[in-house]
Amino acid sequence: GNSVTQMEGPVTLSEEAFLTINCTYTATGYPSLFWYVQYPGEGLQLLLKATKADDKGSNKGFEATYRKETTSFHLEKGSVQVSDSAVYFCALSDRTGGFKTIFGAGTRLFVKA
């Protein structure tokens, strides 16, 4: 079945540091891939998405590239801010999974000033 594995947290960085959160997936079909962000006490928000191999999703300085050969969708940001402190979820959706989205366990990011 489909699954998503992302690096365990928490990840603690200083402001302006480079961020990478690793995400790998297994899927029987051709999935769309997503990153969501959850700020404390709130629901999840879509951060970026990619729908086919080699697509790059980007938003608010975050980027992730759909790598079919390594089945990965790592999240990166060149310079994090304190306001980026949140939990980040990698997710996939494909037709073989029906209407369900498979979420990773989430990675908590703390950014120190």
**Which stretch, 19-27, 59-67, 68-76, 90-98, contacts other proteins (CB under 8 A)?**
90-98
Q: CA-CA distance, 86 to 50, in Å (whole number)? A: 21
Q: CA-CA distance, 57 to 42, in Å (whole number)? A: 23
Closer Cβ to other proteins, 46 or 82, answer by number? 46
Question: What residues numbered 15-34 form the site for other proteins, per CB under 8 A?
Answer: 31-32, 34
SS3 call for 97: helix
Q: Is 99 in the site for other proteins (CB under 8 A)?
A: yes
Closer Cβ to other proteins, 17 or 103, answer by number? 103
Tell me how many residues contact other proteins (CB under 8 A): 25
Distance of CA 55 to the CA centre of its chain: 14
CA-based R_g, the chain, Å: 14
Q: Would you state the structure tokens that stand for residue 83, as one six-digit string?
A: 């306001």
Instruction: Name the residues that contact other proteins, by CB under 8 A.
Output: 31-32, 34, 36, 41-46, 49, 51, 89, 93-95, 98-101, 103-106, 108
